[in-house]
Structure 1
Amino acid sequence: MKVIYPGSFDPVTNGHLDIIQRAAKNFDEVTVAILDNKSKSPLFTIEERIAMLKEATKSLENVNIDSFSGLLVDYVAKSNTNTVLRGLRAISDYENEMRNALANNSLNNDVETIFMVSKSEYTFLSSSVVKEIASFNGDVKNMVPEVVCKQLKEKYK
């Protein structure tokens, strides 16, 4: 079975990687689909995010990195699957992700969303938290892969 794990991954965190690694054990193929949202101003370009994710997941043979823009259901329709994976850190994530899953299913009733609960050590972790800490020259080495840590230092010189 194939699954799509979508997100902005700006940048990828150890919490994201935990979900990816666990998904890789439970699915035949995992596509990490990076949303290229033109209406937002990400810290990292889509190319930088792809490169960081490829480096961080290079040991996972059944993980592919891709990008998309527009609606997730349109990306899913072009893929060879109908299954979307989302990570949950807290109840607030569940409420938001459930709304998104229901909206996606209303647009394409073949789209199924599976939720994976984060490990407790990652429940506080988000890309926004990482960027804020890094912007003040804080230590994020235990929050992100090494490649991301290096890129953050470059961005916030």
Structure 2
Amino acid sequence: MAHVLAIYPGTFDPITLGHEDLVRRAARLFDRVIVAVAIAHHKKTLFSLDERMEMARQALADCPQVQVESFEGLVTEFTAARGGTAMVRGLRSGTDFDYEFQLAGMNRALVPGVETVFLTPASQYQFISSTLVREIGTLGGDVAQFVSPGVHERLLHKLGRTAAA
């Protein structure tokens, strides 16, 4: 029986509990999952590539079938090069669906052998995004409930803050 490898791509700046939820769901569906962290030269990230990869590895250390790797360029090429047959994408809302549906069609045209699988996060994570976590954290808000403890600690350090007593 063939082992099915799924790729879950993103910037993960930082990885949130919503991302973790989707990875764990994907790990139940597929034999292996690669969390593909985009180098993202086109985006100004708060965390470096190494920091984003280390946070993802730390947050998902309890998932032995999950690996964290970086990629540059088209995720379809990365997926094909790794032998992946599925790409996991998260949907939080109808707005996400419109964009992701279009992206899935383009990806299918580029690499017909790779299927896009849409997963929705648990209801308590549906509103969480890395962008909002960064913005709230930058403005002094408490984001501890949206990220794992290790990620929260790194975020506070990056923003020059310390944890509340």
State if a TM-score over 0.5 links the two structures.
yes
State the AA in 2 paired with 1:62: Q
Determine the C-alpha separation between the residues in 2 that align with 1:104 and 1:81: 13
- The 4+ residue runs of structure 1 with deviation greater than 2 A are none
Match of 1:92 among 78, 92, 95: 95
Is 1:16 equivalent to 2:55 in the alignment? no
Q: In 1, Cα distance between the equivalents of 2:10 and 2:111?
A: 19
Query: For the aligned residues, what is the CA RMSD?
Result: 0.9
2:10 aligns with 7
Indicate which of 49, 60, 65 corresponds to 2:63.
60
Render the CA deviation track for 1:89-138: whole Å, top value 9, x for unaligned. Answer: 00111111111110111112112100011211111100011001110221
Structure 2 match to 1:112: 115
Residue 38 of structure 2: aligned partner: 35
Distance 2:71 2:62 in 1: 23
| One-letter identity of the residue aligned with 1:36 | I
Structure 1 position 68, deviation (Å): 0.2
**Aligned residue identity for 2:67:** N
Aligned residue pairs total 157
Using the TM superposition, give the Cα deviation of residue 82 of structure 1 relative to its aligned residue in structure 2, in angstroms. Answer: 2.0
1:44-85 alpha-carbon deviations (Å, 9 max, x no partner): 011000100110011111000001010011101101222101
Moved more, 112-121 or 7-16: 112-121
Equivalent residue for 2:153, pick from 150, 153, 156: 150
Distance in 1 (alpha carbons) for counterparts of 2:139 and 2:41: 26
Structure-2-length-normalised TM-score: 0.92
Percent of residue pairs bearing the same amino acid type:
38
AA aligned to 2:64 is: E
The question of 1:72 aligning with 2:84 is answered: no
* Residue 45 of structure 1, aligned match among 42, 48, 72: 48
What CA distance in whole angstroms lies between the structure 1 residues aligned with 2:110 and 2:33? 23
Unaligned runs of 5+ in 2: 161-165
